[in-house]
Amino acid sequence: MNNPLHITLAGNPNSGKTTLFNHLTGARQHVGNYPGVTVDKKEGFFTFNTNSIRIIDLPGTYSLTAYSVEELVARDYLVNEKPDMVIDIVDASNLERNLYLTTQFLELGIPLVIALNMVDVAEKRGIKIHTQKLAKLLGVPVVPIIARSGQGVDELFTTVLTARGERDHPPTLLRYGPDIDEALREIIPRIENSHLLTDTYPARWTGLKILENDEQILDKAQAADSEVTRTLVQRSETLTHHLQTTVDAFPEAVIADHRYGFIKSILRQEVVTRTFDNNRLYTSDKIDKIANTASFYLERTKVIQGNIANADTPGYRPKDLVFEEELQKSMELKKSDPKH
């Protein structure tokens, strides 16, 4: 008997990922835990056109930065388990926000099909997405679905089976401005020549994570080759000092900003047509807009790094962002503007 096709569902929280998982598997699913953490591992089985499929519902996450347990679990599963195909569930009514995670999948070079979910909700908000153009610009298939009703799901898995045969999935190369791009040009050859983590990650992706001061990747790199890692960290520190001096930002915030720039450049190419007020924000949009801005990302980074640095300080109490305050600021933003 052939092994079942290994499919992973990934996406933002509330994108409809688990709704699709339940629609596909019904009672043929079980819930466990990922090793060493209390995050639920949802696994199920179903058959599509005589193909036996094993499907994993990853925890919802906004990014692969690994600042939360969910982000770490999702990233580790994708790079270690190497599923045959990843279905990225994208909320069509919040396209820009959802595509931030998509860009990181593309940078990893994983086999990807985008399920553009909740197209009915988008249409009610006056949003029409030209899926073929979006697919062409991103370089991966895009299939509109409504997970709640099952509409488009057959087409989705027909596309998955077709895309599975295309084994070449080169990582997408994004540009991050002259300072970061120059640093990458210097450190990528060092990573490749020393084979630092190259069995697991693309060299460019490892370089980005080092520049982002990703703790897990730094630990793995240190264990694999401490001398090479030391030189890479020195280059990262030089970059960080330069960006702090010139633009008052950390590399990770600059990288996040350029990812959003990449997304905006795609959406501007007549990918989205709006028939209602383009400036109207629904409550869920406002919440997500805060959680994904580069400024909030940077503030979260500062808080986490401060907690780590002071972890052994007697009497130190870990800090946290008061998200409710940030939300209130956003909800009141331009309140007096008649367009809002």
Look at residue 295 and tell me whether its pLDDT is greater than 60.
no
Assess whether pLDDT exceeds 60 at residue 55. Answer: yes
d(CA 16, CA 11): 8
Percent of residues, the chain, with pLDDT higher than 90: 68
Name every residue whose Cβ is closer than 8 Å to that of residue 159 and which is 6 or more positions away in sequence.
113, 141, 143
At 120-159, the pLDDT tens digits run 999 998 999 999 999 999 999 999 999 999 999 999 999 9
**Contacts with 257 (C-beta within 8 Å, 6 or more apart), sequence order:** 294
**Per-residue model confidence (pLDDT) at position 336:** 44
Higher-confidence residue of 333 and 124: namely 124
As a whole number of angstroms, the distance between CA 221 and CA 229 comes to 6
What local confidence, expressed as pLDDT, does residue 33 receive? 81
Helix (H) or strand (E) holding 89: strand 85-91
DSSP code, position 172? P
With b for 16 or more beta-carbon neighbours within 10 A and e for fewer, the 101-133 pattern comes to bbbbbbbbbbbbbbbbbbbebbeebebebebee
Cα distances from 159 to residues 5, 93, 116, in angstroms, run: 14, 22, 13
- The arrangement of secondary structure in 5-164, i.e. its CATH architecture, is 3-Layer(aba) Sandwich (3.40)
Beta strands at 51-57 and 85-91: parallel, antiparallel or unpaired = unpaired
Domain ranges of the chain: 5-164, 178-257, 277-340
Least confident of 18-27, 63-72, 186-195, 265-274: 63-72
Please give the average per-residue pLDDT across 231-241, as a whole number. 97
Position 28 scores a pLDDT of 80
* Residue 232 confidence (pLDDT): 97
Torsion sign (Cα): 211, 214, 215, 220: negative
CATH of region 178-257, choose from 1.10.3470, 1.10.287, 3.80.10, 2.40.50: 1.10.287
11 conformational bin, left if phi > 0, alpha if psi -120 to 50, beta if neither: left
Mean pLDDT over all residues of the chain?
Answer: 85
Its pTM stands at: 0.81
